[in-house]
A and B are shown apart, each in its own frame.
Chain A
Amino acid sequence: MSLRGVAAVVGLAERAPQRYTEGETNLELLSGIAVDAMADAGIARDEVDGLLVHPIGGLPGFVPATVAEFIGLRPRFAELVDLGGATGAGMVWRAAAAIGAGMCTTCLCLTGTRRRRRRPSSVPGDSGPDPAARRPRSNPPTRDRSPHAEFDAPYGMVGANVGYALLANRYAYEYGLTDAQRAKVAVDQRRNANANPAAFFHDQPLTIDDVLGSDVICEPLRMLEIVMPTAGAAALVITAADRVADAAQRPAWLLGAGESVTHSSFAQAPDLGETGVGIAARAAFSSAGVDPADIGLASLYDCYTIMVLLTLEEAGFCKPGEAGAFVESHDLTFSGDFPLNTHGGQLSFGQSGMAGGMSHVTEAVRQIQGRGGERQVGGVEIAYAHGNGGIIAEQVGLVFGADR
């Protein structure tokens, strides 16, 4: 079964990223954004019969049921998607597939996170503070733990900065890449954010020198090419082809999708040129029947500048090793010759947990729908959105079209 033309995004809602939230729970945040997305689509709550959510801190299980009850839904398709930064994109094709299989007709895809001032545990794979990891020789030997905690974290492979710095240095070793080439991505995206009132860094201009002058956090990566965690939320309404005409918004049709999961620990990742980025992107393009050259807007996951560069070439927008030269020779802004991350990317928009990855999808949809406002790209017929989780571990590519 091809997913082309099976379903379309007909509504969305997004809460502008903010640094912290006070008081509000994740459930409250998600129910609020759900109501907003249904209103945007002009679709009533009782018409929604599919729900896709992601793991929520504090809820050890039963997440879809908990969220459904809280919002007041009784879905016939209830899904938990757990693909890190690729989660939002991964929800989209799953929704379309469920619709195509006749399991439901209209899905709500919810992402978002609150953010309190106190930092949570920063050990990936952990859902919270873990006394066992600090208490020597007392770990129950049969407790399930990610090998990451045992073989990566003890060396400082904690959080994502180290992993993407390793990626950047390996990339530079194989292909050559300058600090200024990476910085160009952050700077062009900031110009996009300067035209997006919802972007966290909307009011702050950025130059190459600003990026190069910011602190090195993990060599070679600097502060201003590293995404900033924020609080926020994003939701989509996806409905079946025969329901599209009933919705309040123009459809952004899902034309194709691809997914890949290649590893958990970055030490076990495939070599450059063979990553899941390319696997997912090629599957998305081929199932949509389009080429990278047909794309009018690229909305590529950008936790770090290096991720955009890697995705550009592994997804086929340029040749392997040429991403640095590609970004230098193209204007990546909404008015440029290669519009990229026109919402500012997460680097300038903000990364609100799983809603950060979803922001690449919402922007692709908005541009297809002609709702880009000041940053609207002229005549986007086909857009590509890419989600990335872990240290290039989980990948989802989506192709959207204005026409079925």
Chain B
Amino acid sequence: MSTRPVPPTSELTQPYWDAARRGQLALQRCEPCGHRPFPPRATCPSCGSSSLPWSPVSGRATVYSYTIAYRPPHPAFAAQLPLVVAIVELEEGPRMFTNIVGCDPADVEVGMAVVATSEPIDGTDMVLPVFTPTKENGSSD
């Protein structure tokens, strides 16, 4: 459980959050061109199609970059310092913001292999996908 700015969802993005609540990371996949857009779109930014059904992804990713915040970037994080904010690159291609959890912040590095896990948001029934180092970790970027 952690306090955070609560994500304002929409009809478009609801499948993402429904999947997250089931412990899954799901993304759209463009039916005609196979592109996996993130964040969710109404039209494919690659080919323009509006046929963008949702499907689960592997949850495997590598750390594209990270920082360790020693001051809260938002008051909600005041009790969670130091906070590792990262961009991860999913095995399926897209990059997304996340937190790296379940390890010493000093051990996080660019290129580190990570896997998606779930973090309930305090005071809501929402679950936020976050990432944690894979068990047999090795640099793979």
Q: A: which residues have CB within 8 A of B?
A: 122-123, 132-137, 139, 141-143, 145, 147, 149-159, 161-162, 165-170, 173, 215-221, 265-268
Is the pair B67, A165 in contact by a Cβ cutoff of 8 Å? yes
Least Cβ–Cβ distance between B25 and chain A, in angstroms: 12
Is the pair B7, A150 in contact by a Cβ cutoff of 8 Å? yes
CA distance A154 to B126 in the complex (A): 11
Is the pair A154, B4 in contact by a Cβ cutoff of 8 Å? yes
Closest to A153 in B: B5
Least Cβ–Cβ distance between A304 and chain B, in angstroms: 12
Given A123-B5, A149-B7 in contact, is the A218-B99 Cβ separation under 8 Å? no
CA distance A219 to B77 in the complex (A): 16
Task: List chain A residues, Cβ under 8 A from B96.
Answer: 151, 267
- Judge if B57 is at the interface, Cβ distance under 8 Å: no
Task: List chain A residues, Cβ under 8 A from B6.
Answer: 133-136, 154
List the 10 shortest-distance A-B pairs measured between CB atoms, nearest first: A165-B67, A170-B65, A136-B124, A139-B8, A173-B110, A147-B39, A219-B68, A158-B74, A150-B7, A166-B65
Closest to A132 in B: B8
Interface core residue of A155, A161, A167 (most chain B CB under 10 Å): A155
Is the pair B67, A159 in contact by a Cβ cutoff of 8 Å? no
CA distance A221 to B99 in the complex (A): 18
Given A136-B124, A156-B99, A157-B97 in contact, is the A150-B70 Cβ separation under 8 Å? no
Task: List chain B residues, Cβ under 8 A from A159.
Answer: 73-74
Q: B: which residues have CB within 8 A of A?
A: 4-11, 13-14, 38-40, 64-74, 77, 83, 85-87, 95-99, 110-111, 121, 123-126, 128, 130
Is the pair A158, B5 in contact by a Cβ cutoff of 8 Å? yes
Is the pair A152, B65 in contact by a Cβ cutoff of 8 Å? no
Least Cβ–Cβ distance between A151 and chain B, in angstroms: 5
Ordered by A's residue number, 12 sampled pairs between the chains whose C-beta atoms are within 8 Å are A136-B6, A136-B124, A149-B5, A153-B4, A153-B5, A155-B128, A158-B73, A170-B64, A173-B65, A173-B111, A218-B73, A218-B85
Task: List chain B residues, Cβ under 8 A from A155.
Answer: 4, 85, 97-99, 128, 130
Task: List chain A residues, Cβ under 8 A from B8.
Answer: 132-133, 139, 143, 145, 149-150
Is the pair B111, A151 in contact by a Cβ cutoff of 8 Å? no
Is the pair B66, A151 in contact by a Cβ cutoff of 8 Å? no
Task: List chain A residues, Cβ under 8 A from B39.
Answer: 147, 150-151, 265
Least Cβ–Cβ distance between A389 and chain B, in angstroms: 19
CA distance A132 to B111 in the complex (A): 36
Contact of B97 among A137, A152, A170 (CB under 8 A): A152
Closest to B105 in A: A219
Task: List chain B residues, Cβ under 8 A from A266.
Answer: 87, 97
CA distance A305 to B11 in the complex (A): 40
Closest to A147 in B: B39
Contact of B9 among A139, A219, A221, A267 (CB under 8 A): A139
Is the pair A156, B77 in contact by a Cβ cutoff of 8 Å? yes
Task: List chain B residues, Cβ under 8 A from A162.
Answer: 67, 69, 73, 85
CA distance A158 to B86 in the complex (A): 12
Given A123-B74, A173-B111, A265-B39 in contact, is the A150-B9 Cβ separation under 8 Å? yes
CA distance A142 to B10 in the complex (A): 6
Task: List chain B residues, Cβ under 8 A from A166.
Answer: 65-67, 85-87
Task: List chain A residues, Cβ under 8 A from B124.
Answer: 136-137
Closest to B88 in A: A267
Closest to B81 in A: A156
Is the pair B67, A218 in contact by a Cβ cutoff of 8 Å? yes
Least Cβ–Cβ distance between A261 and chain B, in angstroms: 14
Given A151-B7, A154-B5, A265-B39 in contact, is the A216-B97 Cβ separation under 8 Å? no
Task: List chain B residues, Cβ under 8 A from A156.
Answer: 4, 69, 72-74, 77, 83, 85, 99
Closest to B141 in A: A173
CA distance A281 to B10 in the complex (A): 38
CA distance A169 to B108 in the complex (A): 11
Is the pair A161, B69 in contact by a Cβ cutoff of 8 Å? yes
Task: List chain A residues, Cβ under 8 A from B87.
Answer: 166, 266-267
Closest to A266 in B: B87
Task: List chain B residues, Cβ under 8 A from A139.
Answer: 8-10
Task: List chain A residues, Cβ under 8 A from B99.
Answer: 155-156
